[in-house]
Structure 1
């Protein structure tokens, strides 16, 4: 981690809003929509999980005056020293590679005083982590401020023995044994802080949920929440960009094994085991099964439940600081990770304008405009208070801090979902406008060609390659017009006021297809005065998997705003050519402002290639065909937005 600067539908009750979207901003700050609480605050429910149904949200309203301040005390120690790699033997005899880093005094001597310890569990090889801290290494800033660091190669990765199965049950059982091992070491004073980015952040939240009393706090950066819904099978479509790259990265880094030189007999066997597992055990077979539509992989079930931390995040009882990104791989679940923890432990949420790679380094922090410190300064404050037990004001940091796209600044709130949000439903009209009025009986429908390659060059290309391709300054990453050529686009008139929305979005699209199945991609754009469209967020959904479990879906003011799709084989619904069906599309949560003079656009197409493609059997049923998007009184396609008063934004730039 570096410290350096950078970046079921129901219409809303009649009479709540005026006839056109020009009054959207005023509507959001006046009378409450149907279902709103008597105090004018939003009535949110939670989103359920596989095991738990949705329930009424209990918003946090304290700490409303919190502001960001920096925390950067003088280092306690002069330097650090990496200890020789060692093995720790698990219950089944599998040996895991462990790398310990300890602080040193001014003379270079290793400190022998027992210290609080930061635990990092990585799949990317602890040797590589010593060069790139974000993938699994000790941060000199934290070590010099009085923390020992333990990095562990999880089972079947790096220099560890065993078979890798990406958060499988054996690997998760290892986490508990490693925590016990750390507490028994002479360098550890018995207090552990869990830290990590991406895979390492996921091991952090899973380990925290195991409730070992030695674990005192957690600081996960961009952790996944739901292995199926977040990325691998978003909307029932398999991710063919990031997932193969990620599996390949783990495999390649697993071949970087210095033990080959220091202990050839051990190192060669570990290397061969990693290669065999990649080819015949987990990585390659998992990809092939997903593409082939293997029921145990392509549909939700036990395999994915085990690999979805949100199923157990409510068990976390230690203070947890969650970091996410508005264009991150796990954009969907990062705020829900915070939401799952906030009522049983101190929790904070920071979401930047980041892709996965940018979030790993806290790109753009410290922010001189909004006062947000570098990520490792925040981490130090969090661990100093909750691991060391010092009173350093970690509890006074803002509860929720989110970058606001279109405003290009950070805004704070007391909670997520935003307590001031109100549901606003806009209708996709036959003339390609977006309004609060219900469509008439005879309004036109609009055709969409079913092309499986849409979005090929779009912000999705950057997001779903973890931001790697986003490092190439392509115009299509900044302007969505080219990637939406084949989409049908619905726009509001130019906004008369700034319009702020924050949270998940639901698109209820009435459609038919000439094929046996179809995909739907729905993109939310901010269109400026020159017609440049910037993508804010999007969702994707396979039509045959459109079934919704209303008991697990999230509502706002009585409106469904985040559908829960079962994605099981038993939930598959027929798609009959020519028959109109309503497909609820989950659009991932965002934080954005459509500025006065700009337009809100909803672009509907048949695919978003970088985000996902259907498994081959479904793809073959969808290849030849055309969609019809309906916009009439009997088939009122619409979108539900969580609109927040613009006055909640930083006062210096809000126009209200």
Structure 2
């Protein structure tokens, strides 16, 4: 498209001209505010490897008494010599706090042996109410936060600890790192969270105000399945272990898990953002994290939104780095496909990080690139100076009545389009794989790479084939004007890459319940005077109920991505009414909007459009 090409060129010239006039970098939304970190757009990855110091490992169980008498279980893995003798010397410690089962997790993760054989003690801890730990599980609740501080103090007192601790682990084990770090314990020196969540409500549990029906039941089942078996407690004391098992079933499973999920489905106060979800959100404590932190995220991860926000929250006050790969949650947990394009394996990156900050080795870890992202379309990793991209400029594309997508605004009286409201579309899409943590993606389904089946029940808006590459990097906002014949509606917006043969590859998406549309403008992310990432309130007080036929604007948050629509391909925006299993409305909302007709408007008075953060130049290989 010539107009898109002109916009990109003018944006680049404008940025260059302003920089030349000021004699310094131009501040932009999301730019580094610390003032003391050099731009690293020219940094390149350096490989890192170190031979093992010890040939073996040895594991033992331990129990840590908490302030209230509850015992927290730990699995301590230490290096051993060729004869199997445990190395009796103080060493730096890697701490992993999980909610599954340290007896299972600690003994099967290949990274455990990799770190331990290179001179670390690896301590795996069962969060309260899981594995062999006593007490009640409350999913990252504040009682557990205090436990994490006591665990750090216990590690400090052990003869095998050198008093320097780093935290490591994916998913659950990445989230707990922030709640341990918030205490600023002097022995905690570094973090390596892999695919962690940032905002419990918006990232995962109630995306857009709808229950994540794909991952949350799966995850709760996993915690209560694996975490219910107190293997270490049973071995230590069979009768005591049975008591722990019964507590897990009655307190953690029946009381907390079933109760919380049931309340959400029935539409109680758990469907709204508030203290319960804030206490479980790492973003709420990121300002208290003071240690060097290396973050790993995925473009199709469950926490696609939250991980880069955590990087942004940290980078102004501590050393922080961000690596985003082409991963679902399962793939991202292990850094699937690495090493690639000069980027080392996750274990090699983590080893260099811990060697630098726990062992004090001058190995250049701090000089590795600050931000590394995979680019869909280019199908490779690139190094960028920062996130959000400091050179991004806003490009507005309008949803036209004829199904086109263009920079030209809609005309008065332009046609609108209708979508059938139903709760089950999306089951055959890339989104279904993403929001089941990658499990559905393991099946050889053609709809995982082609959204045309899903689009049969949606309305699509497509550019002509592009005349030059279009590089998009960052959050995306869709502003869609709609009405419904029902009392409620959900709106799903997908961004796809349409290849010359017609295949529509979904890149990212967003979802929003219409009555939850209220935003806090003061917390929205702006770019060139336009909002590209809304902040929805998701409170009961802010809820705005619909009347049939009422035309309302919905600011749909489409999760951030990095991609290039290649010359000859087209960019598509698809608008639908559901995205199962990503989103399922709570029962009261489902009843109000289960069937109806959703109208998407495209005219001068109701100008539906998307705002994209575009960058002029794709980094060279």
TM-score by length of 1: 0.91
Residues 19 and 435 of structure 1 are in contact (CA less than 8 Å); yes or no, is this contact kept in structure 2? no
Q: Give the drift of 1:71.
A: 0.6
Residues 426 and 580 of structure 2 are in contact (CA less than 8 Å); yes or no, is this contact kept in structure 1? yes
The one-character-per-residue Cα deviations of 1:202-257 (angstroms, maximum 9, x if unpaired) are: 01122122211110000000111000000100000011111011001111112323
Aligned residue number for residue 359 of structure 2: 388
Aligned residue number for residue 327 of structure 1: 300
Q: Give the drift of 1:388.
A: 1.1
Q: Give the drift of 1:576.
A: 1.7
Residues 15 and 391 of structure 2 are in contact (CA less than 8 Å); yes or no, is this contact kept in structure 1? no
Q: Give the drift of 1:314.
A: 1.8
Aligned residue number for residue 119 of structure 1: 95
Q: Give the drift of 1:29.
A: 3.2
Aligned residue number for residue 188 of structure 1: 161
Residues 129 and 252 of structure 2 are in contact (CA less than 8 Å); yes or no, is this contact kept in structure 1? no
Residues 322 and 338 of structure 1 are in contact (CA less than 8 Å); yes or no, is this contact kept in structure 2? yes
The one-character-per-residue Cα deviations of 1:372-409 (angstroms, maximum 9, x if unpaired) are: 11101000100111111111000110110010011100
Q: Is 1:291 matched up with 2:265?
A: yes
Aligned residue number for residue 108 of structure 1: 84
Secondary structure, aligned partner of 1:494: coil
In structure 1, the gaps of 5 or more residues are: 1-17, 48-54
Equivalent of 1:524 in 489, 495, 499: 495
Equivalent of 2:43 in 66, 69, 74: 66
Question: Structure 2 matches for 1:223-372, cutoff 5 A?
Answer: 223-258=196-231, 259-295=233-269, 297-367=270-340, 370-372=341-343
Question: Structure 2 matches for 1:90-101, cutoff 5 A?
Answer: 90-101=66-77
Q: Is 1:623 matched up with 2:594?
A: yes
Q: Give the drift of 1:312.
A: 1.2
Q: Give the drift of 1:278.
A: 4.0
Q: Is 1:583 matched up with 2:550?
A: no
Equivalent of 1:160 in 126, 130, 133: 133
The one-character-per-residue Cα deviations of 1:424-448 (angstroms, maximum 9, x if unpaired) are: 1111111111111111112111111
Residues 29 and 390 of structure 2 are in contact (CA less than 8 Å); yes or no, is this contact kept in structure 1? no
The one-character-per-residue Cα deviations of 1:479-519 (angstroms, maximum 9, x if unpaired) are: 01111111110011111111111100000001111111100
Equivalent of 1:436 in 407, 417, 422: 407
Equivalent of 1:648 in 615, 618, 621: 618
- Over 3 Å counting, the alpha-carbon distance change for 1:264 and 1:441 in structure 2 is same
Provide the C-alpha distance between the structure 1 equivalents of 2:306 and 2:379, rounded to a whole number of angstroms.
Answer: 22
Secondary structure, aligned partner of 1:202: helix
Question: Structure 2 matches for 1:542-553, cutoff 5 A?
Answer: 542-553=513-524
Q: Give the drift of 1:167.
A: 0.5
Q: Give the drift of 1:114.
A: 0.5
Residues 59 and 415 of structure 1 are in contact (CA less than 8 Å); yes or no, is this contact kept in structure 2? no
- Over 3 Å counting, the alpha-carbon distance change for 1:33 and 1:476 in structure 2 is farther
Provide the C-alpha distance between the structure 2 equivalents of 1:46 and 1:584, rounded to a whole number of angstroms.
Answer: 20
Q: Is 1:457 matched up with 2:428?
A: yes
Aligned residue number for residue 612 of structure 1: 583
Question: Structure 2 matches for 1:462-541, cutoff 5 A?
Answer: 462-541=433-512
Residues 25 and 497 of structure 1 are in contact (CA less than 8 Å); yes or no, is this contact kept in structure 2? no
Secondary structure, aligned partner of 1:130: helix
Q: Give the drift of 1:337.
A: 0.7
Provide the C-alpha distance between the structure 1 equivalents of 2:163 and 2:25, rounded to a whole number of angstroms.
Answer: 44
Secondary structure, aligned partner of 1:570: coil
Secondary structure, aligned partner of 2:510: strand
- Over 3 Å counting, the alpha-carbon distance change for 1:438 and 1:562 in structure 2 is same
Residues 398 and 407 of structure 2 are in contact (CA less than 8 Å); yes or no, is this contact kept in structure 1? yes
Provide the C-alpha distance between the structure 2 equivalents of 1:375 and 1:202, rounded to a whole number of angstroms.
Answer: 17
Question: Structure 2 matches for 1:565-580, cutoff 5 A?
Answer: 565-580=536-551
Q: Give the drift of 1:106.
A: 2.8
Equivalent of 1:172 in 118, 126, 145: 145
Secondary structure, aligned partner of 1:173: helix
Task: Decide which moves more: 318-327 or 248-257.
Answer: 248-257
Residues 415 and 603 of structure 2 are in contact (CA less than 8 Å); yes or no, is this contact kept in structure 1? yes
Residues 42 and 557 of structure 1 are in contact (CA less than 8 Å); yes or no, is this contact kept in structure 2? no
Q: Give the drift of 1:262.
A: 4.5
- Over 3 Å counting, the alpha-carbon distance change for 1:620 and 1:37 in structure 2 is farther
Residues 351 and 403 of structure 1 are in contact (CA less than 8 Å); yes or no, is this contact kept in structure 2? yes
Residues 33 and 422 of structure 1 are in contact (CA less than 8 Å); yes or no, is this contact kept in structure 2? no
Provide the C-alpha distance between the structure 1 equivalents of 2:575 and 2:604, rounded to a whole number of angstroms.
Answer: 19
Secondary structure, aligned partner of 2:352: helix
- Count of aligned positions: 619
Aligned residue number for residue 602 of structure 1: 573
Secondary structure, aligned partner of 2:155: helix
Provide the C-alpha distance between the structure 2 equivalents of 1:32 and 1:434, rounded to a whole number of angstroms.
Answer: 26
Provide the C-alpha distance between the structure 2 equivalents of 1:242 and 1:29, rounded to a whole number of angstroms.
Answer: 41
The one-character-per-residue Cα deviations of 1:333-366 (angstroms, maximum 9, x if unpaired) are: 1011111111111110000000010011110011
Provide the C-alpha distance between the structure 2 equivalents of 1:592 and 1:373, rounded to a whole number of angstroms.
Answer: 22
Secondary structure, aligned partner of 1:70: coil
Residues 509 and 558 of structure 2 are in contact (CA less than 8 Å); yes or no, is this contact kept in structure 1? yes
Aligned residue number for residue 29 of structure 1: 12
Secondary structure, aligned partner of 1:566: coil
Equivalent of 1:556 in 519, 527, 532: 527
The one-character-per-residue Cα deviations of 1:87-123 (angstroms, maximum 9, x if unpaired) are: 1010000001111111112332211110000011010
Provide the C-alpha distance between the structure 2 equivalents of 1:45 and 1:271, rounded to a whole number of angstroms.
Answer: 50
- Over 3 Å counting, the alpha-carbon distance change for 1:293 and 1:43 in structure 2 is farther
Aligned residue number for residue 128 of structure 1: 104
- Over 3 Å counting, the alpha-carbon distance change for 1:19 and 1:513 in structure 2 is farther
Residues 78 and 105 of structure 1 are in contact (CA less than 8 Å); yes or no, is this contact kept in structure 2? yes
Residues 124 and 253 of structure 1 are in contact (CA less than 8 Å); yes or no, is this contact kept in structure 2? yes
